Amino acid sequence: MQKPTEEELFAAVDELLTGEPDLPPPSERARLREAAGVSQARLAEALRTTKQSVKNWESGRSEPRAPRRQAYLRLLEGWAAQYPAEPAPVPETFTGPTAAPDTPPVSADQASTAVATTPPEANSRPPHPASAPSRPANSARPTSTSRRPAKPRAAAPAVDPRFPNGPLAVLDGDGTAYCLGGVLLDCPASTIPQLVDWVLKESGIGAARLHRHGKDSDPLIVLTESAVARFGLPAHLEDRRGLRLAEDHPVVKQVAKAKWKLTQRGFGPWPRIYRPAQKGQRQCVQLAILPWDALDTRAWGDAATLHPADLARVLGVFATRVLTPRGSTAVTGLELMTALRPPTRPVKDEASGEWVSGPNPGALTSATDPAPPEAPPEHPVAQGWERGFLDEEAYQWVRDPNLLSDEECLLPWAVGIDINTAFLAAAARLTVGLSEPVHVTAPVFDKKIPGVWLVDLSHIELDPRLPSPFTPNGQRPQGPGWYATPTLAYAEELGHEIRPIEAFVREETGAYLDPWHDRLKDAYLTTTAEMGIPVDKDADPAVFLEAMALHKTFAAADEDNVEGLRAALRELAGPRGDAARLAVADDAELAALTSRHRQGAMVLSAVKATVKGGIGKLRERPQGRHYKDGERWPALERPTWNALIRALVIAKARVNMHRKMAKLAALIGLYPLAVLSDCVVYASSGPSPLDFLPRNGDGTPVYGTFRIGANPGFCKLEGVQETAWAVDLIEQGYNPARHIKGGGHDAVMDEGE
């Protein structure tokens, strides 16, 4: 090969320098546009191209050409300077040792204040074998603010250098604060004001904001029973109605004397202690008090009974993947919407040149009243309204026993299948209203416009062996009624003409719930996968059902009854044979798996409760025995009080389920016995959903029917009972879907209100 000359090399380099510059990867292009609050249509207009072209650029299907390429690159570079990417969080998992981020160095003065003098009897809890190092009696505490478990852990980067010790800590009575990743801190505080100071100044606890225009998550400190005693709090909250300490309680006085404030909720199970922000810096600490039932067992199971190290892991994993808990899972679900789409952002005042707060495009930016038919009857706008109300709720339907065939009644099994996070699946790509309702008379129905429509659907004749898709009780409508857009879009899909009498629609719309859906879906699937459950959409349904059964067996196992667990494992059999292998595993492995599945089940339960509760909280009703209809209540003053969004999600979830039931009936003539929210019960020749769900010749599920799998919108086995049992309940007027789990586990219609 001939040696190149200097001129030839320079020419080649010059050619590279003048070549087309590289664009950011497609995902980054979309992120930058969304961070700037610009829609694809607006960007297409600016670049004199089509919306589909912008979609193709952001999906990687095509690349822009000159001169648009140079203009697009200039725009992206400008956005990148304004909206830099944040580092991705590194959550703790349940599958192995987890990182313990290094704590910042402390001074000798700080170290000396960390020495505690709490007597040994102040904390009667035994040390956790894997997380809490044993300490000789009467020995002094280490002189560092941070202590580590005896077993070393691999290092992992902190999510944010400001918060090296994670989003939260579980504080025990001896002053040990258990953090995510196995980090142990010494807390010298003996009063609540001292605790707040320590958390904000020394602990390194907190979490970075999820959106650049949002706020960092306040650090959360969970108080165990012994910690409650340490700070002079009562073991039980006497005021069960108000759920707060009295204003004259010594602890409340301590907080006020130290010039800290409490929110309107007062000092209850989830007190928030703060001072007004100074120079843009928040000063706020969230507490969760376990003996006061801060962790609802319906959402968290028996998480409150865990050792502090395990509880820190469960809550920490949830906080890292979803959000640091800020109260009930319903409250957290609503707060997550705001954290991902803050109502305001900085905008430049053209007159003064100053940066001021302005509305954030695509978010709910201000509190707005609903249209009268959307509101609950006690709402001020509903007073005097006499033209009916919206009734978009989840299914509660049982088939008429006279419509049960002999063939169905002779089938041996009633099998309940449950839709995974049905409300979350319905929230995906759902267009909702972001502005005030606009009243329209005799409108033309448009399925792309979110709103409520007054329509008469009573003339539509449907198979009575299926619930009506138009009403939550599954009965045929009796006359004109108010319906949300998804319900009427489905009626149109079924071939019926829609002629609205009037409507309340929204002119400003958007996919407000998309980031909320994406984060919760990722949290749900990531945690599911850590339980050894396949989450791939094309996973073998039989393998998925076996893995789910194995997970439930471990999650429900009694830790003190190893032989009972072995017997339950021997009863399971499936394609992978995992149950048979584990039935002969040693006690240590079974104990580790039981702990892992038990804690994973708690996180999954909390994620699901966050979905349902967050949607329900969009239409929070008034509370308190002194409330009178027509009065405003505090929830109405927040931008996220939005009854229409709740109705749109529930309506879409209900018609999604009806679409699958109708497809199954059309294919194989199989009709449900009962439906309750996201659970449907069928009579079956075998005890598995695979015994009645149709499959293609190659074994794949038939498109449009129920599909077994882990993803939101897919389904899993809810429970199995004898068909005779289900028929007997139906004849007595009860819903077998509510009791199909057996073992006293009745389904609950919990939508967060």
| Residues 175-185 pLDDT 10s | 999 999 999 99
pLDDT computed for residue 697 by the predictor: 87
Can you tell me the distance from the alpha carbon of 77 to that of 83, in angstroms, rounded to the nearest whole number? 10
Can you tell me the distance from the alpha carbon of 317 to that of 494, in angstroms, rounded to the nearest whole number? 44
Can you tell me the distance from the alpha carbon of 204 to that of 161, in angstroms, rounded to the nearest whole number? 9
pLDDT computed for residue 5 by the predictor: 62
Average pLDDT score, the chain:
87
Q: Given a cut of 60, is residue 111 above it in pLDDT?
A: no
- Name the residue with higher pLDDT: 751 or 219: 219
pLDDT computed for residue 507 by the predictor: 94
pLDDT computed for residue 693 by the predictor: 96
pLDDT computed for residue 743 by the predictor: 62
pLDDT computed for residue 160 by the predictor: 82
Q: Given a cut of 60, is residue 117 above it in pLDDT?
A: no
Q: CA–CA distance from 393 to each of 140, 195, 504, 611, 651 (Å)?
A: 60, 44, 19, 15, 7
**Residues 418 and 720 sit within 8 Å (Cβ to Cβ):** no
Q: Given a cut of 70, is residue 751 above it in pLDDT?
A: no
Q: CA–CA distance from 122 to each of 145, 229, 310, 371, 706 (Å)?
A: 20, 8, 20, 56, 54
> Which domains are seen in the chain, by residue range?
21-82 (1.10.260.40), 108-327 (no CATH), 514-637 (no CATH)
pLDDT computed for residue 149 by the predictor: 37
Helices (H) and strands (E) in the chain, counts: 23, 21
Nearest Cα residue to 471 out of 461, 481, 463: 481
Arithmetic mean of pLDDT, 555-576: 87
Can you tell me the distance from the alpha carbon of 26 to that of 76, in angstroms, rounded to the nearest whole number? 11
Nearest Cα residue to 556 out of 541, 568, 547: 568
Can you tell me the distance from the alpha carbon of 341 to that of 513, in angstroms, rounded to the nearest whole number? 9
| Matching residue, tokens 């198979």 | 463
CA dihedral of residues 366, 371, 373, 375 (deg, nearest 10): 30
Phi and psi at residue 374, to the nearest 5°: -80, -20
Q: Is the peptide bond before 193 cis (omega within 30 degrees of 0)?
A: no
Arithmetic mean of pLDDT, 204-217: 94
> pLDDT-derived band of residue 93, with 50, 70 and 90 as boundaries?
low
For the stretch 296-327, pLDDT in tens is 999 999 999 999 999 999 999 999 999 999 99
For the stretch 396-439, pLDDT in tens is 999 999 999 999 999 999 999 999 999 999 999 999 999 999 99
pLDDT computed for residue 302 by the predictor: 96
pLDDT computed for residue 387 by the predictor: 93
> What's the token pair of residue 547?
């893995």
pLDDT computed for residue 392 by the predictor: 97
pLDDT computed for residue 154 by the predictor: 34
Kindly give the pairing relationship between strand 220-223 and strand 168-171.
parallel
Q: Given a cut of 50, is residue 107 above it in pLDDT?
A: no
For the stretch 140-198, pLDDT in tens is 333 333 333 333 333 344 458 899 999 999 999 999 999 999 999 999 999 999 999 99
| Range from 30-34, 379-383, 660-664 carrying the lowest mean pLDDT | 30-34
> pLDDT-derived band of residue 30, with 50, 70 and 90 as boundaries?
confident
Q: Given a cut of 80, is residue 752 above it in pLDDT?
A: no
Q: Largest Cα–Cα distance in the chain? A: 95
Counting every residue written for the chain, the total comes to: 753
Other beta carbons within 10 angstroms of residue 498's beta carbon come to: 18
Percentage of the chain modeled with pLDDT above 90? 69
Q: Given a cut of 50, is residue 115 above it in pLDDT?
A: no
pTM: 0.81
- The gap from C-alpha 482 to its chain's centroid, in whole angstroms, comes to 29
Arithmetic mean of pLDDT, 538-565: 93
For the stretch 67-78, pLDDT in tens is 888 888 888 888
Q: Given a cut of 80, is residue 60 above it in pLDDT?
A: no
pLDDT computed for residue 65 by the predictor: 81
For the stretch 677-734, pLDDT in tens is 999 999 999 999 999 999 998 888 899 999 999 999 999 999 999 999 999 999 999 9
> pLDDT-derived band of residue 62, with 50, 70 and 90 as boundaries?
confident
Q: CA–CA distance from 148 to each of 103, 159, 178, 309, 316 (Å)?
A: 10, 19, 10, 12, 17
pLDDT computed for residue 112 by the predictor: 32
Q: Given a cut of 60, is residue 625 above it in pLDDT?
A: yes
> pLDDT-derived band of residue 80, with 50, 70 and 90 as boundaries?
confident
pLDDT computed for residue 101 by the predictor: 35
- Name the residue with higher pLDDT: 555 or 94: 555
